Structure 1
Amino acid sequence: MGKSSKVELRATSSENSVLLKQGNMIDDTCVNYSIQNMTVVENTIQLTKDNGISKAHFLQACPDCLVMHFSNTITVAGVPIRMVRSFYIFGKTGKLHESELEPIRKQAECLKFPQPAQFIYDGVTEFCPETKKNETK
């Protein structure tokens, strides 16, 4: 089960792309990856590869937080075979007030994510350290 997640978005030399760098702590193991040149269209970033399409939709949910609805459609020979979805809340601090979380829960419920949430950051667990050796592009 997930214990912490950290996302970094960086501008690239192109105004229509960003570098998305993400580290997830899952069962005490860091899973880091970097995806370059994700296309930006309004509040969505997208990456298309031979085996599928990854999309991340963003919405500012409170003054110090951002919601990301991520989907990855896996394809074989151009035919979708599986979709993986996740819903992230990112804040500038480790904890959000209950008043900030309630509208976000309603968004997650509207998107058909199970309630209560399957993972909530405890404000204590470490984030994955930035390392080059575990990153893939």
Structure 2
Amino acid sequence: MMVFIHVAVAVLCLLTGGHSAPVTSCEDLIRPIEIQGRDQLLGKWTLVSESTTVPGSKMLTKMLVESAWVKVTVADESDALSVFQAQKMFGRCFTLTSKMTLKNSTLSMVRPVTATQVLLNTGCPDCLVVYSNYTIGESIYSGLQFTSRRRKVSAAELEEFKKQVDCLNLPSPAILDPEKGFCPDESPSQETEATDLTNVMNEMGSDTFSLLERLFNSTDAVNAIFRMISSSVSGLKED
């Protein structure tokens, strides 16, 4: 989300291979899976739900993010992936492009934040689940994201993800509503304005991330940021 922290931590890299067998126990639900190669990660994925330990993340997601999707393509290096994320907020689109490397079934990223990701088992045949650890300021946070080839998953598939969240002792997840519409595949469009945050995020130094970390540990600060962003986007629409 335009909320910088969410863009930084959600980071658009919600990757995992699908499995068709039903998954029920916590042992199975939090079991990492082996990534056979980049090909199984390629394509477009819609963000269905996510849980993170970043303070205020769920509140900001519910208040600001209408929808989000990622597109994964191969990068020049043999072990690298390019990840393009588009999030719709206040009727506008905000995009971010990042680069990840794949080694020993672990995805790693350096910018805009340092992160490592492993893919978890799932009973959904075309869904993607990834467990992440990322560093913001001086703190390490965890997160679990759920994506699908489809824009809407079944109730049973969503319940399985919620159980995975519980098994990992993560906060209750934010769930996005596909009925709110998505950013177009090609941007900009006449209907939806788009802002690329890639350079802004990559140029943010450790001091800025430390400041964001302190802000997002305060409920009052989260509410103030929401009001500030709402006012700013409203002004852009009037222009």
Aligned residue type for 2:107: I
Q: What percent identity do the matched residue pairs reach?
A: 25
Measure how far apart 1:84 and its partner are. Answer: 4.1
TM-score (normalised: structure 2): 0.46
Distance 1:74 1:114, change over 3 A: closer
In the TM superposition, what whole-angstrom CA distance separates every residue of 1:98-132 from its partner, at most 9, and x where no partner exists? 222222111112222222x2x21222122233447
Structure 2 regions of 5+ residues with no counterpart?
A: 1-60, 189-194, 200-239
Map of 1:68 onto structure 2: 130
Tell me the C-alpha RMSD between the 2 structures: 2.6
Distance 1:128 1:60, change over 3 A: farther
Map of 2:181 onto structure 1: 126
Q: What is the count of residue pairs matched by the alignment? A: 128
Structure 1 regions of 5+ residues with no counterpart?
A: 76-80
The answer as to whether partners of 1:43 and 1:59 remain within 8 angstroms in 2 is: no
Residue 46 of structure 1 pairs with residue 108 of structure 2: yes
Task: Give 1 or 2 for the bigger CA radius of gyration.
Answer: 2
TM-score (normalised: structure 1): 0.74
Map of 2:205 onto structure 1: none
109, 123, 140: which one pairs with 1:83? 140
55, 58, 62: which one pairs with 2:119? 58
Higher relative contact order structure (alpha carbons within 8 Å, sequence separation ≥ 6)? 2
Residue 6 of structure 1 pairs with residue 69 of structure 2: yes
In the TM superposition, what whole-angstrom CA distance separates every residue of 1:22-56 from its partner, at most 9, and x where no partner exists? 122345443310013x111244321125x851223
- Greater helix proportion: 2
The answer as to whether partners of 1:32 and 1:128 remain within 8 angstroms in 2 is: no
Does the residue aligned with 1:93 lie in a helix, a strand or coil?
Answer: coil
